[in-house]
Chains A and B, each alone.
Chain A
Amino acid sequence: MFENNYLSLIIFAPLAGAVINWFFGKRANSEMFSGAVACTAVGISTVVAFMIAFGIGTPHQGALFIPEGKPVLDHIWTWIQVGDFRADFGLGMDRLSGIYALFVTFVGLLIHIFATGYMHGDKGFYRFFAYLNLFMFSMLTLVLADNFLLMFVGWEGVGLCSYLLIGYYINKDEARRAAKKAFVMNRIGDWGVLMGVFLIFTITGSVSFFDKAVDGQAVQSVFSWVQNSANVSQADPFTWGAIFAGGLTSVGVLLFIGATGKSAQIPLLTWLPDAMAGPTPVSALIHAATMVTAGVYLVVRCNSIYQLAPTAMFIIAVIGAATAIFAATIGLAQNDIKKVLAYSTVSQLGYMFLACGVGAFVAAIFHVMTHAFFKALLFLGSGSVIHGMHHEQDMRRMGNLKKYMPITFFTMVTGWLAIAGIPFFAGFFSKDEILYKTFAAQGLGNWNYFLWGIGIVTAVLTAVYMTRMMVMTFWGSERFHQELPEEDQADHDDDDHHEIPADFKPHESPWTMTVPLVALAVLSTFGGLVGIPYALSSLPVVSSIVGEEANHFEETLKPVVKKLGADESHGAESEVKHFLAEGSSEEAAAHHSPEEIAAERWLALFSVLLAAGGIAIGWFMFAGNPLRKMPKVLERKWYLDEIYNKAIVDPITEGSRRFLWKGFDLGFIDGTINGLGSFVTEIGSLFRRIQVGFVRSYAAIILFGALVVLGYFIYYAYRTIG
């Protein structure tokens, strides 16, 4: 067991930053001070995370390299211990949480730096950075927690910070509504996580992620119970009944309910686009790069549970694919630049869950990481645009910005190409791997082809709407004074919105904003090279450029997502193995049959063509006519919000008011009691002469009580004698 007490520094540095800004930020009244405190705090986390992950200056190996994926642990104190239940405040960094910690801290740091520029001049500057640091604390707690319950602390903590930051512009009506909506929808998901944790505890007797020893006592992890071969051989069957059977499938479904809330999947997706009411750095950090991928983290962390729960896997795959295409269609028709990116995030998260659902956990995490790079870049880029446009977010009033904002333009182009899936940008490898793994998934009947088909269509749509966004923003004519249609005016009635002066010229953003953009652009361009699949890296064209590199990413994560039942005898191939996608293992090319390699290469070529086709479609549709009218139903998000309000929110509110409160509480119960009361008062009126005021009721009750007591004794005596 490896221990490193500096691990807690990763979470406590941002907490300290938040506390300092909270208590002294207002008094200091200096953007320099608040920004420096917040960035230093996250900087410390970043440095420590890198040191522990790569084993720089640590007495043990780096957490990413420890054999068999064993974690580096840091037990802080025992949190809740009752009966045989225990949950520690303890951290653990294994390969999975290591990767998460690395990109969360690093991307977080860049966004913090960006925010010092973006939030310049805001009167709540210190408050903003206190919240942002608090978010980093929660997110890193979520990722580094060594048990389900502490993870849930982070899980709820990021929800709280998201609530505070979405509602940051407290005077905006839209913001306060969005904040509450986000919190409540997340809470619905949290219900699932809680119930899942209860069930895990009753099944396995533990909530720990890792085997460890605390206070001289061994704690077995949930997953070593699950991976116990006796339990593996009893994997749940692929039936609908398994969902309600109270086994691992039920656990899987309950946890996934939580994931749908946090990661904005169907049906709990409508909060994320609304959350764009928060400041743009928040959208980049929380609602694109880090928090919303927590659901994927949860599923991958529990991959050994899911491997034994094929029904849950199937549900995840279907929901993921459905969300991917659903959100992509809406993204086509949005005019707010941040809304486009928000739906794009929902759609990409759908891809990640699709990957999880077909058993391609590595591909899911790979896409989480590359998505963190290019989506953070796109959001920050949009923030830069909004900043340069003096808080205009409507793309109909942009155009030709490449002339005014060249750095923003070039960096966003890399993000655009990355998300569209153009080789060799980061998004290409991860998305392509998801699509291939879906295609090659086994045990789904023919559903895998159908899911793959949805993935392909979504990929085309992604290229189209991203191209539309780029075209509307950066190319074409300058439409800074464009009149918007009447019906849309209502959405923009916040009073920060001032008229744009006639001689208005957008401007490029300061270096604090462009430097993070450039850094993220580099990552979006080259970040995918750590995980080139074997089928592509063995291509002569590729290997001549990047060398015949192994798939480092997959190598690293392999112990975390190891296939269950793999070390059993070959004769006893479980249903599980059939179901899972062929997890690639490239240390030996022998694991890849030539047919598979060929199939993967053809599919890769196909998706490149589709991406290029999508860009072409987008270009031809919108380059000439950026204000092309899109279908109303897409613009109104398939009327999902309206449906939810009419079908769920209104009936609950009205029912509670009319029937429960006014009808039952005031009408029935109080009516009965008051009737009883006046009866008692009637009796009490006998005593009116000697007792005044409400004391008479008291006397009446005493009398009544005394009669009851007397009656009882008479009855009792009668019965005893008789």
Chain B
Amino acid sequence: MDFINQYLLTILILVPTIGAVAIIAHQAFWKDESQLKWLTLGVTVLNFVLSLLLLGGAQASANGFSFEQNSPWIPAIGSNYHIGVDGLSLWLVLLTTFIMPIAVISTWHAVEKRPLAFYAFMLVLESAMIGVFVSLDLLVFYLFFEASLVPMFFLIGIWGGKQRIYAAVKFFIYTALGSLLMLVAIIALYYLHLQATGTGTFDYVTLLGSISSGSLTFGGSSAYTGTLLFLAFALAFSIKVPVFPFHTWLPDAHTEAPTAGSVILAAILLKMGTYGIMRFNFTLFPEASREMAWIFIVLAIIGITYGALVAMVQPDVKRLVAYSSVAHMGFVVLGMFSFTEQGMQGALYTMLAHGVTTGALFLLVGFIYERRHTREISEYGGLSNVMPIYATFFVITAMASVGLPFLNGFVGEFLIMLGMWSSTILPGSWNQIATMAAGTGVIFAAVYLLWMIQRVFFGKLTNEKNKSLSDLSLREIGIMAPLLFLMVFMGVYPKPILDSSKPSVVEIQRIVSGETKGGTVTELNIDGPEGR
């Protein structure tokens, strides 16, 4: 047990990779590829169970991270294999391990060509995603960040829809361009640290320490250095999120990807962007973050309303859900850049809620696509007559996405808007005006989802082809059940997640809002668990 606890994160990263190797190696003994899904499912479930041990909660070290591991990797350039989780990444890791088995089951009858490669890519992808969330060394982070790109590229490019090549290339160009600039920034940080302190490092914790102690400042070399580095990171992450106007890869990628790919893309991959901004941009470049905040707030609001308006007129169900992601991720960005505890906690909560809800929406779209092989809204109508369980699940999920209270979407969006409203990052009453503008997204969300539901599920069953559709199978109900449970649970009892992420989020908020440590200690005591 001690061994597992000590190396838990490494184990979580390695288990899927070992699974992938096993899948590739099995050919030596056994030619049938059709049962590989069982192996994949076993591996992902095992990883999920193991990841639950994270909740056991080892004592966090002084820097706030637990389950930490730090061993030299490339000593010549001072890069270490440094990993660890805090309240921010813990839940994203759990989200990843939770979504993966669900995504695997969703492929049960859907993957006909080359299952071996498909499942191997899925498992490699899981390793990479977990690696992204736990890396505390910038170079290691970068490698995982890039590594997650490749399997997704092939998942879209090989198993996608008609336009898959276009979508895959577009996805790749966008994200790779962004992350290259980040690599430049990472290397620059190394040299700046070398210049300032005499040792170069990629270690996040060390860099953070140097910055907060004042031994590394970006004012020295050039007034714009901090801002430029911030932008290099931010661009990589903004494309991933995606922040308007870098979002146009997303509708294509989501729509063309196979169901499992869309689920993973929406539920986890997008969060790598918002996670990165919160983890690296805010803490390494707090001044630049504050300077640039207004730009991101404006872009977030445009994303919220624009995404919703464009979603409203989509003739394709999957594309509609994809654009709704743009709107929801806009909320996350808005909350983060409010630099308030409510806003940032809400942002994290919305990341998780969006992962569950939008993942579920893509699964639901996938179910109907497997039956009818079309995603055109106009092909449907009156489906609730033949598929009542499906319709019920869809309505519940849509309501969660719309942000109905007591379902998971509401808690996060409410906190985000509350945080933005009470923020002081923008001058005067612009904070409130920004919140009001973002709030219209809540109205539009109801419009596009309910309009779609109205056209797909209600009314008379007119299309002959829909009359013989079968309702959800036991397998399909089985994968929806945990998601639906989480939607309700996260909506009525958010306390466990909010409490456990609080210390880390508050710490980031403290750094980015430029408050001195002394200033917040008293506040921490009031709000901390001891005070209650």
Contact = CB atoms under 8 A, between A and B. Distances in A.
Most buried by B among A78, A82, A694: A82
Given A202-B421, A673-B248, A698-B172, A709 B183 contact: yes
A653 interface: yes
A156 B342 contact: no
Most buried by A among B342, B435, B450: B450
B209 to A, nearest CB: 24
A81 B436 contact: no
Contacts of A657: 313
B450 A673 contact: no
B459 A173 contact: yes
A179 B399 CA distance: 14
Interface stretch (A102-110, A185-193, A543-551, A571-579): A185-193
A705 B142 CA distance: 14
B405 interface: yes
A603 interface: no
Contact of A184 (B165, B447, B460): B447
Given A82-B342, A184-B447, A694 B422 contact: no
Contacts of B345: 82-83
Contacts of A653: 312-313
Contacts of B34: none
Contacts of B414: 80, 149, 194
B27 to A, nearest CB: 23
A217 B526 CA distance: 11
Contacts of B495: 77-81
B157 A694 contact: yes
Contact of A171 (B172, B385, B494): B385
Contacts of A157: 404-406
B417 A656 contact: no
Given A170-B384, A701-B176, A176 B170 contact: no
B444 to A, nearest CB: 9
A85 B342 contact: yes
Interface stretch (B184-192, B365-373, B478-486): B184-192
Contact of B435 (A82, A198, A713): A198
A157 B402 CA distance: 13
B-side interface mostly: helix
Given A83-B527, A180-B454, A677-B169, A194 B494 contact: no
Given A80-B494, A215-B532, A697 B460 contact: no
Given A183-B446, A709-B183, A656 B309 contact: yes
B443 interface: yes
A175 B306 CA distance: 29
A156 B406 CA distance: 10
A705 to B, nearest CB: 4
Contact of B399 (A160, A201, A215): A160
A83 B341 contact: yes
Contacts of A450: none
Interface in B477-503: 492-495, 498, 502
Interface string B177-213: 1001101100110010000000000000000000000
A201 B418 contact: yes
A666 B312 CA distance: 15
A511 interface: no
A642 interface: no
B264 interface: no
A665 interface: yes
A179 B395 CA distance: 13
Contact of B184 (A179, A215, A708): A708
B227 to A, nearest CB: 16
A631 B411 CA distance: 49
A660 B306 contact: yes
A167 interface: yes
Interface in B353-406: 382, 384-385, 399, 404-406
Given A84-B527, A152-B405, A160-B399, A661 B248 contact: no
Nearest to A176: B458
Nearest to B432: A246
A669 interface: yes
A670 interface: yes
A175 B460 CA distance: 11
Contacts of A175: 458
Interface string A486-497: 000000000000
A673 B404 CA distance: 37
A195 B187 CA distance: 44
Nearest to B443: A187
B84 to A, nearest CB: 24
Contacts of A500: none
A527 B34 CA distance: 73
11 contacts: A79-B493, A82-B415, A83-B527, A175-B458, A187-B442, A195-B439, A199-B421, A201-B418, A673-B249, A708-B181, A709-B187
Given A175-B458, A179-B450, 18 more contacts: A80-B498, A82-B502, A89-B492, A156-B404, A170-B458, A171-B459, A176-B454, A180-B454, A191-B439, A194-B417, A195-B436, A195-B439, A199-B421, A215-B532, A657-B313, A698-B176, A708-B184, A712-B184
